[in-house]
Amino acid sequence: MNAPDINLIPLLFASIFTSNILLANFLGMCSFISISKDMQSSNGLGMAVTLVLFLTSGLNWVVYHMVLVPLGLEYLRFIIFITVIASMVQIIEMVIDRVSPKLYITLGIFLPLITVNCAILGVSLFLEIREYTFLQSLVYGLGSGLGWWLAIMLLAAIRKKVEKGPVPAALKGPGITVITIGFMAMAFIGFGGMLPVQ
Amino acid sequence: MNKQNFGYTILFTAVVSFVFVLALAVVNEVTADQIQFNREVRLVRSVLDAMGVEFEDDEHARELFNDVQQVEQNGLSLYRFARNEEVLYAKQYSGAGLWGPIRGHLGIRADGERTLGLTILEHDETPGLGGRIDEPWFQEQFRNKRLVDGRIRMGSRDGQGDFVEDSGEFDGITGATSTSQAMERIINNHLEEITRALGGAS
Amino acid sequence: MSSAPAPGAMLRDNLWTNNPIFMQILGICSALAVTNLLTNTMIMTIAVVGVMGMTNLTVSLIKSLIPRKVRMMVQTLIIASYVIVVDIILRAYLPDISRALGPYVGLIITNCIIMGRAEAFAQQNPPLLSVWDGVTSAFGYMGVLLAIALIRELLGFGSLFGYQVMPEIFEPWIIMVMPPSAFFVLGIVIWIGKAIMEREGAPA
């Protein structure tokens, strides 16, 4: 089985816009809705997700293709992937703490949230199903992270306005947020017309 | 024994991991044959489906498949099925979709004039958008259709079947331009290979 | 959660007043994507019921043995193991569904509700009660997702569980098959649910 011949630039573009991991694949919703109340936290979490996604997609690719496949242990991939993600988050937390205490204040509190962010595990599972090469995996991980970051920043900005508007009592909070996300999802699909022929 | 003790923590984690991994290995081993069997049945059904051969159930499909030969035609590996003076061909195709590989079988008549059918075995397009290629209406439109210059064209209109009979034009999927274009490219590439291989033989 | 919850009260609490989706929109990541078809949603949520019941049982049984430091890790390991079992069973006996669900079965691991209940309930309560809690919470989750899938499949394909129910002249709403509609329908379902709750006087 040879890897699919998928161009990296459309892949990056598609993973950020047209098939945004959050808006088209619904991944990473839990923290997305609870954190997007606040712009600054959204920014911090978005940055952290992008970093972790980029690194774990590369690492999980290596683990899957260099360790699990040769040993015939593909069926254990769920456990291995989640362990790799959890360890990666721990390591990043320690490194950031040592290297830049200032950055740690911005990112630190969000890192533990990331282990249970479905987007991270989701991307690792997609890499395996789609048979990406190492390079494609990195690009897809990066693109998905950037897409997630962009989506949460936009939603945080919209929510600020919406919260002041006259919303029916029962729709306040999660209800109106979910519907807002729906409109964003429609807008993002509209980017499809811009995607160059691949 | 102190539960917060370092040694205990390590031991506990190791034992728990061992027990669970062992249990999973057993489950995996027990079901391995069934999974392999499912895979074979799926391949058989897909090849016959692509050729437009009808069958009642899995058993019947496997029976029919016994008469399907795997042939090398000018270096191209094809499934060949001769029935009632009619010769049907199918080829396994694969190519890059928007996200990942799309695989399946493409059936064609021996004279290369008409497609017999198309199946999609594997794809990972966006659910609800490009992912709609696995809906029956999309695949059914390739059933016994005339080719124009040995190619197909993917229209942009979304419908429930091709809209001009025998125009060589098929419906793409609204909102999933890339997937539709990818399908068009994959199918045409494989059609070209097949017609070249079959043409060279006669 | 009080120290000795009554099973009847728990049922009501987990299914309705404290429904994880209504109150916090937890755990939808793994399942929202498959809500365009009822059958897939059904299988997916049954898998969640199984995983959640078994996880709560296991955590509750070994809770006194788990060292505090690795608690989360052990819980994750338990959840992941049951999810793998579900994945293997689907592959072996329901191959078509397994393919349709794709990576989303694996994503049950990161369903926040499962770990949430294991942590909040099974860690403190006896095994049988924990299973009950897990199963009822999962049913609450199942109810909301099936409601979404019902609307999406009916309007998007004109069918229910794959059987055509709408008359021939019905033109399917393409939008209902596409991802954004999942958000719209979820928002509306939450809206209706909360409105009913408010009328009942429950704290919403």
Give this complex's ipTM: 0.82
A57 residue type, one letter: S
The DSSP secondary-structure symbol of C27 reads S
* pLDDT at residue B158 is higher than 50: no
Q: What's the per-residue H, E or C state across chain A?
A: CCCCCCCHHHHHHHHHCCCCCCCCCCCCHHHHHHHCCCHHHHHHHHHHHHHHHHHHHHHHHHHHHHHHHHHCCHHHHHHHHHHHHHHHHHHHHHHHHHHCHHHHHHHHHHHHHHHCCHHHHHHHHHHHHCCCCHHHHHHHHHHHHHHHHHHHHHHHHHHHHHHHCCCCHHHCCHHHHHHHHHHHHHHHHHHHHHCCCC
Q: B72: pLDDT confidence band, cut at 50, 70 and 90?
A: confident
Closest CA to C134 of C193, C204, C53, C198: C53
Q: What is the pLDDT of residue A192?
A: 65
Strand ranges of the sheet holding B145-146, from the earlier edge strand across to the other edge: B69-73, B76-83, B86-96, B101-109, B114-122, B145-146
In a domain, B47, yes or no: no
B14 neighbors B32 (Cβ within 8 angstroms): no
Per the structure, the count of domains in chain B is: 1
- State whether B128 and C92 contact (CB < 8 Å): no
Report the Cα B70 to chain-centroid distance in Å: 17
* C173-191 average pLDDT score: 85
* pLDDT at residue A60 is higher than 80: yes
- State whether A25 and B176 contact (CB < 8 Å): no
Q: Indicate left, alpha or beta for A24 from its phi (over 0: left) and psi (-120 to 50: alpha).
A: alpha
Helix, strand, coil fractions of chain B, as percent rounded to 5: 45, 25, 30
Among A22-31, A70-79, A188-197, which is the least confidently predicted range?
A188-197
Among A62-76, B38-52, B170-184, C119-133, which is the least confidently predicted range?
B170-184
Q: What is the pLDDT of residue A2?
A: 45
Q: What is the pLDDT of residue B87?
A: 84
In a domain, B95, yes or no: yes
A145 neighbors A50 (Cβ within 8 angstroms): yes
**A165-188 pLDDT, tens per residue?**
888 877 887 888 889 989 998 888
* C147-176 average pLDDT score: 84
* pLDDT at residue B64 is higher than 90: no
- Higher pLDDT pick, C146 / B169: C146
In a domain, B98, yes or no: yes
Whether C77 and chain B come into contact, CB under 8 Å, resolves to yes
Among A47-51, A187-191, B78-82, which is the least confidently predicted range?
A187-191
Q: How far is B77 from chain A (nearest CA, A)?
A: 16
Give the list of residues 6+ apart from residue C169 with CB closer than 8 angstroms, or none: none
Average pLDDT, chain A: 83
CA distance linking residue A179 with residue C194, whole number of Å: 15
Instruction: Enter the tokens of residue A85.
Output: 């993600």
* Chains in contact with chain A (at least 3 beta-carbon pairs closer than 8 A): B, C
Secondary structure of residue B174 in the 3-state scheme: coil
CA distance linking residue B10 with residue B4, whole number of Å: 10
From B20, B124, B158, residue closest to C174, measured CB to CB: B158
Which residues in chain B have their CB less than 8 angstroms from residue C69's CB? Answer: 4, 9
Among A117-121, B172-176, B184-188, C189-193, which is the least confidently predicted range?
B172-176
- Full residue range of the structural domain in which residue B169 is found: 69-201
The reported pTM is 0.84
Whether C7 and chain B come into contact, CB under 8 Å, resolves to no
Q: What is the pLDDT of residue C200?
A: 77
Which residues in chain C have their CB less than 8 angstroms from residue A82's CB? Answer: 76, 80, 109-110
Q: What is the pLDDT of residue A195?
A: 54
* pLDDT at residue A189 is higher than 70: yes
From B24, B95, B126, residue closest to A19, measured CB to CB: B126
Q: What percent of chain A shows pLDDT beyond 70? A: 93
CA distance linking residue C77 with residue A82, whole number of Å: 9
Whether A133 and chain B come into contact, CB under 8 Å, resolves to no
Measuring CA to CA, how many Å separate A97 from each of A46, A54, A93, B146, C66?
A: 18, 19, 6, 66, 29
Q: What is the pLDDT of residue C150?
A: 92
CA distance linking residue C141 with residue C128, whole number of Å: 20
Instruction: Enter the tokens of residue A197.
Output: 């022929």
B24 neighbors B89 (Cβ within 8 angstroms): no
Q: What is the pLDDT of residue B4?
A: 67
- Higher pLDDT pick, B166 / A169: A169
Q: What is the pLDDT of residue A88?
A: 87
Whether C33 and chain B come into contact, CB under 8 Å, resolves to yes
- State whether C29 and A30 contact (CB < 8 Å): yes
Q: What is the pLDDT of residue C24?
A: 65
Q: What is the pLDDT of residue B66?
A: 83
Instruction: Enter the tokens of residue B71.
Output: 């042939």
In a domain, B118, yes or no: yes
Q: What percent of chain B shows pLDDT beyond 70? A: 90
CA distance linking residue C11 with residue A4, whole number of Å: 49
Which residues in chain A have their CB less than 8 angstroms from residue C25's CB? Answer: 29-30, 33, 174, 177-178
CA distance linking residue A144 with residue A149, whole number of Å: 9
Instruction: Enter the tokens of residue C82.
Output: 């049951």
In a domain, B8, yes or no: no
In a domain, B139, yes or no: yes
In a domain, B49, yes or no: no
Which residues in chain C have their CB less than 8 angstroms from residue A169's CB? Answer: 198
- State whether B31 and C88 contact (CB < 8 Å): yes
In a domain, B38, yes or no: no
Q: Which residue has the tokens 């040592």?
A: A98
* B71-90 average pLDDT score: 82
> Which residue is closest to C184 within chain A, CA to CA?
A179
Q: What is the pLDDT of residue B1?
A: 52
Q: How far is A130 from chain B (nearest CA, A)?
A: 4
Which residues in chain A have their CB less than 8 angstroms from residue C99's CB? Answer: none
CA distance linking residue B139 with residue A23, whole number of Å: 27
Give the list of residues 6+ apart from residue A100 with CB closer than 8 angstroms, or none: none
H helix or E strand, kind and range, residue B79: strand B76-83
Q: A119: pLDDT confidence band, cut at 50, 70 and 90?
A: confident
**B88-146 pLDDT, tens per residue?**
888 888 888 877 888 899 988 888 788 888 998 888 777 777 788 888 888 888 888 88
* pLDDT at residue A143 is higher than 90: yes
* pLDDT at residue A197 is higher than 80: no
* pLDDT at residue A27 is higher than 60: yes
Whether C183 and chain B come into contact, CB under 8 Å, resolves to no
Q: What is the pLDDT of residue C2?
A: 44
Helices (H) and strands (E) in chain B, counts: 4, 8
Q: B163: pLDDT confidence band, cut at 50, 70 and 90?
A: low
**C39-97 pLDDT, tens per residue?**
889 999 999 999 999 999 999 998 888 888 788 888 888 999 999 999 999 988 888 88
Half-sphere exposure for C68 (CA within 13 Å, toward CB) = 4
Whether A169 and chain B come into contact, CB under 8 Å, resolves to no
